[in-house]
Amino acid sequence: MGPIVSFNQSRGRKAEAMLVLVTLIWGGTFATTKSLTHTIDPASLLALRFGIASLAFFLFFFKKLSTSLHGKVWLHGMILGMFLYGGYILQTIGLQSTSSSRSGFITVLYVALTPLLQMILTRKLPRRRIRLGLGMVLLGLWGLTAPGESISGMIEPWRTGGFGIGDLLTLGGACSFAIYIILLDRFGSYDVIPLTGVQIATMFTLALVQVFFSGHPTLPTGIAQWGDMLYLSILSGVLGTYWQTRYQRYTTPTRAAAIYTLEAVFAALVGGVFLGEWLGLIGVIGGALIVAGLLIVEWPSGEIAIADEI
């Protein structure tokens, strides 16, 4: 007879498997969003994305939402939605001037930023292992964004093609996602359906406001673009957000963050296959260092490795 697995262990493994599926879905959104930004304004893209997602979610869960929305769910869901939208809009604008592969690896840096922000909140210094992992992440980012993805580019990172405005915006989005992860762990005790619904509705509202002030509303053209929009809104926007909100509570924030590192790998693979954005050797090494560093930061403790008080 095989080993006996407790209910909590089984539930945790199922939850982590679902989070892997979520990262696969997310990984495909980089190339999809990149292709759409060629013809659609970022704010319009997100307004459509989360508008369709809001409509679908509220149609699917109308009965549940009509009886379970209350003040704290609205407040905390809106806070979560604000930071989640901040991550999405910075990432989407950044994709206009960086590749989907680079965007994926830079976005996943929120995995390292999560314990750093928690460290600030708890006023603890990270252990040597954490510092080593963060050093690898920085070295990997240096190689990933080196001009021409070459050693000479690493020596002269100021050359054209190095770390640019698109990469900087994407890094800002990663900071917003890191705050979201921390807050989701704190607010995740609410019923998943109303909490998810308020998040999506908040992102739709913020996108509409941005479209109004930008004055450049645009729509998809053709069946292919509308198909891409449905992928972003239904599969990623509704199911991805719902599954993340539902299953992350059954694992620790650090284990969830470690799983999310796969998003960058999936983004690079999809970007290479569908957009031809294959990373060069230095870029691949840089991406590998980022993932390895993030795993060192987050795995296997399940908690933040901390030492002395600041």
Over residues 130-141, the pLDDT tens digits come to 778 888 888 888
Average pLDDT of the segment spanning 240-261: 80
Q: CA-to-CA distance for 58 and 65, rounded, in angstroms? A: 7
- Report CA 290 to chain centroid distance, whole Å: 15
Q: What is the pLDDT of residue 244?
A: 82
Residue 87 in domain: yes
Average pLDDT of the segment spanning 162-171: 89
Q: CA-to-CA distance for 89 and 75, rounded, in angstroms? A: 21
How do strand 124-126 and strand 306-309 relate by DSSP bridges? antiparallel
Q: CA-to-CA distance for 218 and 196, rounded, in angstroms? A: 27
Residue 257 in domain: yes
pLDDT band at 299 (very low <50, low <70, confident <90, very high): low
Beta-carbon contacts of 89 under 8 Å, excluding residues fewer than 6 positions away, are: 42, 43, 46, 173, 206, 207, 210
What's the whole-model pTM score? 0.81
Residue 235 in domain: yes
Q: What is the mean pLDDT of the chain?
A: 82
Could you give phi then psi for residue 304, rounded to 5 degrees? -75, 130
Q: CA-to-CA distance for 45 and 91, rounded, in angstroms? A: 12
Average pLDDT of the segment spanning 230-241: 88
Residue 189 in domain: yes
Residue 301 in domain: no
pLDDT band at 6 (very low <50, low <70, confident <90, very high): very low
Over residues 177-228, the pLDDT tens digits come to 989 988 887 776 667 788 888 898 999 999 999 999 887 788 888 899 999 9
Residue 289 in domain: no
Q: CA-to-CA distance for 134 and 147, rounded, in angstroms? A: 22
Q: CA-to-CA distance for 93 and 160, rounded, in angstroms? A: 19
Residue 93 in domain: yes
- Evaluate whether 241 touches 81 at the Cβ level (below 8 Å): no
- Evaluate whether 263 touches 31 at the Cβ level (below 8 Å): no
Average pLDDT of the segment spanning 150-165: 69
Residue 144 in domain: no
pLDDT band at 9 (very low <50, low <70, confident <90, very high): low
Which bin fits 278, alpha (ψ -120 to 50), beta or left (φ > 0)? beta
In a 10 Å sphere around its CB, with 0-12 CB exposed, 13-18 middle and 19+ buried, how is residue 150 labelled? middle
Q: Note down the domain range covering 53.
A: 7-123+164-278
Q: What is the pLDDT of residue 175?
A: 92
- Report CA 309 to chain centroid distance, whole Å: 30
Residue ranges in the chain assigned as alpha helix (H) = 7-36, 42-60, 62-68, 71-94, 100-107, 110-122, 128-144, 151-155, 165-187, 192-214, 223-230, 241-247, 253-260, 262-275, 281-298
In degrees, to the nearest 5, what angle opens at C-alpha 237 toward C-alphas 91 and 217? 60
Average pLDDT of the segment spanning 15-40: 91
Q: What is the pLDDT of residue 294?
A: 82
Number of structural domains (the chain) is: 1
Neighbours of 58 (CB within 10 A): 14
